[in-house]
Structure 1
Amino acid sequence: MIIQNPLSDPLSDVLALSGLRAACSVRLQAGGDWALRFQPIELKFNVVRRGACWLRVRDRPARRLRAGDCFVVSRTPFILSSTADMQAINASEVFAESGSSAIYGVGNDVELLGGSVSLSSPGAADLLEWLPPVIIIEASASGASSFAWLLDELDREWQSAQAGAYAMCNDLLRLIFVHALRHHIVTADLAELAWLGGLREPAIANVMRAVHSAPAHSWKLAEMAAIACMSRSGFAALFKTRVGQTPVEYATRWRMQVAASRLCNGVDTVATVADSLGYLSDAAFGVAFKRVHGQSPGQYRRHHCSRNL
């Protein structure tokens, strides 16, 4: 059997460089009057498996969540509660002794499954910056069947006590997060999406795929416009509107994100990375790298990559 490599996918490329991984999986059962405050370091994912509760995120109206609803919160404190205005205690106090499973309040009116999704690479900063404080996917939303299947699998694995169940839960959480991100790309206002908005414009998406598939290529405006089948001026204006950067800026930034990832792999030298990305000299590579990252390649590796080596 011959398995062909899939076409380049900009979102998958960015996620791969971001070091996406599930930090933990948790279960919460609560009842009566209760309110818990969570403070995610990066991304917190939850799904309401049974019952209903309120979600409160700063500067946003309280939102009623029902069974099957999912949400992702990005680096923003939030409260889950039985009512929309109840004072909360820190969830860390409830989970301190119980670890990955906790019961709070009186009864078991509501049950949530979830966990923390970590983006371990320094390059994850861009993705986190582009995400809104909260993404909510209602059970009735388009594509909910995929969510339902993943959530059923997550629930079964959690309760199975089979070998590898915890690893399966973490992998399912990663998949659920990617589904949530795709839902956001399809449903959000274009103004909220930054570069992700380019994925909704076929001509722009084609160019982004080409750029991601050939980071070592020194992309010119004319050839990118040709891929989009547009004039240079029309393409440049549309790209800047959708992505927030000029086409050449985007191509250069992606090239340097790939460079940063390769610098952190602990194997390649600066010269090797420079050569792999089409630079004829280390000096030229260093200038381009510093323009994007604010540090020389060597400084970047010492300051950002040691934890990953």
Structure 2
Amino acid sequence: MIVQEAAEDPLSDVLAAMQLRVATSASLRAGNSWSIRFQVDRPKFNVVRHGGCWLVIPDEPPCRLAAGDCLVASRGTFVLTSDPDLVPIDAEAVFTRNPRIADVGGAIEVELLGGSVSFDETQADLMSNVLPPILLIAGGVPAADRMAWLLELLSVEWGSGLPGARAACDDIMRLLFVQTLRRCLGGETIELLPTPSWLSGLADASIAKAMTAIHAEPARHWRLQQLAAVAGQSRSTFAERFVRKVGVPPVEYATRWRMQLAARRLRSSTDSVTRVAESLGYLSDSSFSSAFTRAIGSPPGSYRRGQDAERRGRKGQDQISRSR
């Protein structure tokens, strides 16, 4: 049997660098008159299991959600309600007694299942403005069906207590993220992306060629002319288009991506700073340290120590959760 390596895939590279982890999984059951405001501090995925309700977001008309509809919220606030004219209460108050299940109102008329994701904060610029604040996927289409199935599976694993449940939940959340980003890349919702981002770049065929080349050879110190040739454009046309789509010049994007890979190596390996620097094309620790500090916000050694402390803290929290 011949095993071939997968082709270079910038989307997979970025998701790996972000270190996505499931943060919560919960269900909301409601009836009669009710209205709940959600503050989005991390991406949230929701599906209407049965029934229906209204979605209210600032400066937009109310939108009716029905069974099978999926809602992805990346930032800001939104309200789920039985009546758009009702005054909402904060979700934090609703989930105080049980963070996994909330019952509101009387007889259950609608049920929603949701999950949220966390990621390495040093990779926050990868997430910034990539998704629209609210993304709706109508029930009945394949993308919604897949996301609904994944959220159901996430709910089962999150509360199972079975060996490997945490790893399974993280993988499910990554799949949810992939489905959402594919939806945007498919062209149906790409116009909703409010600002330039790497995702907008991947939606452009010529820019995507250059980004794929950067991801295939991250240690190469790319020049503008080389990337323009890959994209099949003149230097001026390519540079202008890249900034318009991605938000930063091509060479700067290559440097930033190199630093994201460095951060990942520092988090996940015991390689020395010198070895990490050499693997990414740097001839001296000092030049690597300067570039890393500009991109990430702290020197390589300090970053690694901070990540080690955070990992120990998460391990302790997981042990406490399993003991409950």
TM range, normalised to the smaller chain? 0.7 to 0.9
CA contact (8 A) 1:18 1:123 kept: yes
Identical-residue share of aligned pairs (%): 45
Matches within 5 A, 1:85-100: 85-100=85-100
2:321 corresponds to: none
Alpha-carbon distance change, 273 to 159 in structure 1, aligned in 2, over 3 angstroms: closer
2:322 corresponds to: none
More deviation in 217-226 or 173-182? Answer: 173-182
Q: Any idea what the Cα deviations from partners look like across 1:81-131, whole Å, max 9, x if unmatched?
A: 111121122323332333322322111211111111111352134314433
2:53 corresponds to: 53
Residue 300 of structure 1: which of 295, 303, 315 is its match? 303
2:10 corresponds to: 10
2:148 corresponds to: 151
More deviation in 292-301 or 84-93? Answer: 292-301
User: Partner of 1:22: helix, strand, or coil?
Assistant: strand
For residues 293 and 191 of structure 1, what CA distance do their matches in structure 2 show?
Answer: 24
CA contact (8 A) 2:137 2:143 kept: no
For residues 153 and 266 of structure 2, what CA distance do their matches in structure 1 show?
Answer: 40
For residues 2 and 281 of structure 1, what CA distance do their matches in structure 2 show?
Answer: 39
Matches within 5 A, 1:70-85: 70-85=70-85
Alpha-carbon distance change, 263 to 158 in structure 1, aligned in 2, over 3 angstroms: closer
Residue 237 of structure 2: which of 230, 234, 238 is its match? 234
For residues 194 and 35 of structure 2, what CA distance do their matches in structure 1 show?
Answer: 33
For residues 304 and 251 of structure 1, what CA distance do their matches in structure 2 show?
Answer: 24
Matches within 5 A, 1:92-241: 92-139=92-139, 144-152=141-149, 154-155=151-152, 158=155, 171-185=171-185, 186=187, 187-189=189-191, 192-241=195-244
More deviation in 164-173 or 50-59? Answer: 164-173
| Deviation, structure 1 residue 304 | 5.5
For residues 73 and 294 of structure 2, what CA distance do their matches in structure 1 show?
Answer: 31
CA contact (8 A) 2:70 2:147 kept: no
Residue 194 of structure 1 aligns to which amino acid in structure 2?
Answer: S
More deviation in 175-184 or 218-227? Answer: 175-184
| Deviation, structure 1 residue 298 | 2.8
For residues 191 and 96 of structure 1, what CA distance do their matches in structure 2 show?
Answer: 34
Q: Which runs of 5+ in 2 are unaligned?
A: 313-324
Residue 190 of structure 2 aligns to which amino acid in structure 1?
Answer: A
Q: Any idea what the Cα deviations from partners look like across 1:2-55, whole Å, max 9, x if unmatched?
A: 332211211211111111122222122111101122233311111112111122
| Deviation, structure 1 residue 241 | 1.9
For residues 55 and 260 of structure 1, what CA distance do their matches in structure 2 show?
Answer: 39
Q: Which runs of 4+ in 1 moved over 6 A?
A: 159-162
| 1:277 equivalenced with 2:280 (yes/no) | yes
User: Partner of 2:96: helix, strand, or coil?
Assistant: helix
The normalised TM-score by structure 2 is 0.84
Query: What is the total number of aligned residue pairs between the two structures?
Result: 306
Alpha-carbon distance change, 191 to 153 in structure 1, aligned in 2, over 3 angstroms: closer
For residues 164 and 34 of structure 1, what CA distance do their matches in structure 2 show?
Answer: 38
1:62 corresponds to: 62
For residues 57 and 170 of structure 1, what CA distance do their matches in structure 2 show?
Answer: 28
For residues 252 and 156 of structure 1, what CA distance do their matches in structure 2 show?
Answer: 38
| Deviation, structure 1 residue 302 | 4.2
CA contact (8 A) 1:25 1:169 kept: no
Residue 261 of structure 1: which of 252, 264, 268 is its match? 264
Residue 151 of structure 1 aligns to which amino acid in structure 2?
Answer: A
CA contact (8 A) 1:24 1:115 kept: yes
Q: Any idea what the Cα deviations from partners look like across 1:167-211, whole Å, max 9, x if unmatched?
A: 656643432232122212332226534221111111111110110
Residue 83 of structure 2 aligns to which amino acid in structure 1?
Answer: T
The CA RMSD measured in Å over matched residues stands at: 2.7
| Deviation, structure 1 residue 276 | 1.1
